Structure 1
Amino acid sequence: MTSLTASSGPDAFQPAAARWEPRRALALSVARKRTAFVRGMRLFFTASALAIAGLLVVQLVLGSSGSVTGETEAVSADIRMTNPRFTGRDESLTPYVVTADTAIRRRDAADGVTELERPRLDYDFLEAGADVSRVLAESGRYDLPNRILDLYSDVNFRTRAGYTFQSNHARIFLREERVTGEEAVEGTGPMGTIRADSYEITDGGNRIIFSGNVRARLIQDRTAPVPDASPEEGND
């Protein structure tokens, strides 16, 4: 009897190479998909690395311009922070620290602008050797991006030149070591007392300009020796 082979049908008459063509095409398709997947993963990891590097750069920039710490609490749409602490440096790289009892960031406020309750300032420009826990005013507002501290109501501060000022407003430009005030001010210093409608302190406290209804009272230094009124007689 004649034996039959296992192969039957049209494939039995096809060459072996022809029967392997579909498998080869399938393997090539899988390889292409795998290559595309690997390329996509490489692009994903590269983009992730760039994003992380960008975040680090942003954090470094924000850190150089100032930072803020404290315990935050969301109240309706506003954010309330207890015992806030803002740090930064002026143009001379002198460090300063702004603290307060409470800070409130309003929903409709500009970016980085925070309201302060009983603000304090640790800064050599104004508080050289003084008690840094002393409250400067009853309320204030801190503009972190521009580093401007506005003080309102019962403002009291002292410059390193020895002058003490009382007013209802002071705007402290922390970058420039400059203070301006648009409210009446009374000042006391080594040379006496002065009163004016507005004022400006520049050059690190070495220059003070008063404007509007200026009234000054100079105090003579009584410890200085009084010169002899009579001419000194010379000897021939």
Structure 2
Amino acid sequence: MSGPDADKERQQTMISADEVRVAQAGERYRARSRRIQRLRRILPIIILVIAGSTLTWVVFRTVMSGVERRANESRELRLDNPQFHGQDEQGRSFLIGAKGAIRNPDTGQYVLVGPVLRLNLGGKKVTELTADGGTYDEERRSIIIGPNVRIIDGESGFTLNTPQAVIDTRTGIVTGDKGVEGTSPLGTIKASAYAIHDQGKRVEFLGQGEQKISGTINPAESGR
């Protein structure tokens, strides 16, 4: 079929097809525009929800941390100027004193502030140990004190200075392996380790590695 009428019909068909495509494209554009508008309204809400959730979680953890900390503190036993009395296996008395003590509820150990330990209390001879801090394990019957440990024998006047002392309250033996310096009327001594036996009646000095035992003797005092 040809002629002016056929050409006119084809042109009309093409125009109709173009109009349909334009209408479809316009509908897609409007649908996309509506989605963008919805997202523009929803996104700020989502951002606020996320920010609010993060802030709520931070506040929650802060509050819970405070609650847990207060709970742990409430379980701690704090003592001012405490004194612990005991005896070793030979019935010799000892006294543990301190400016303060805090009992750890998880381990049962006492953290000591300014501890003072007196061995053979009530006898003719008292050995006293002092330090800046320490730990008392009542179950294991052991005490570790330090730093700045000072051990004084009241009868002989012998004094030891050492970074740390370990006391076995069952036997009364005091040991340390972090170095020691001793002074007495007889002279001075340096060693890498030491052990005090029999409530201070016998002191043993040890050299470890390259560090040997060294000392000086006061002839005037030793000759008396």
Partner of 1:45: none
The answer for unaligned runs of 5 or more in structure 2 is 1-71
User: Where do residues 26-105 of structure 1 align in structure 2 (5 Å cutoff)?
Assistant: 75-105=73-103
Q: Secondary structure at the match of 1:96?
A: strand
Report if aligned partners of 1:98, 1:120 keep a CA contact under 8 Å in 2.
yes
Q: What residue is the counterpart of 1:124 in the other structure?
A: 120
Aligned equivalents of 2:194, 2:92: Cα separation in 1 = 24
Distance 2:171 2:105 in 1: 29
CA distance 1:76–1:223, change in 2 (3 Å): closer
Gaps of 5+ in 1: 1-73, 226-236
Kept in 2, the 8 Å contact 1:91–1:176? The answer is yes
Q: Is the contact made by 2:180 and 2:194 (CA closer than 8 Å) also made in structure 1? A: yes
Letter in 1 for 2:116: R
Larger helix share, 1 or 2: 2
Change (3 A) 1:195 1:224: closer
Cα deviation, 1:16-69, whole Å, max 9, x if unaligned, reads xxxxxxxxxxxxxxxxxxxxxxxxxxxxxxxxxxxxxxxxxxxxxxxxxxxxxx
Task: Decide which structure has the larger Cα Rg and report it.
Answer: 2
TM-score (norm 1): 0.54
CA-CA distance at 1:78 after TM superposition: 2.6
Aligned partner of 1:170 among 165, 169, 190 = 165
Q: Alpha-carbon deviation of 1:80?
A: 1.7
Q: Which amino acid aligns with 2:179?
A: A
**Which 10-residue stretch deviates more, 172-181 or 154-163?**
154-163
CA distance in structure 2 between the aligned counterparts of 1:217 and 1:89, rounded to whole angstroms: 36
The ranges of structure 1 where at least 4 consecutive aligned residues each deviate by more than 4 angstroms after the TM superposition are: 127-132, 222-225
- 2:192 is the alignment partner of 1:194: no
Q: Give me the TM-score of the superposition, normalised by structure 2.
A: 0.57
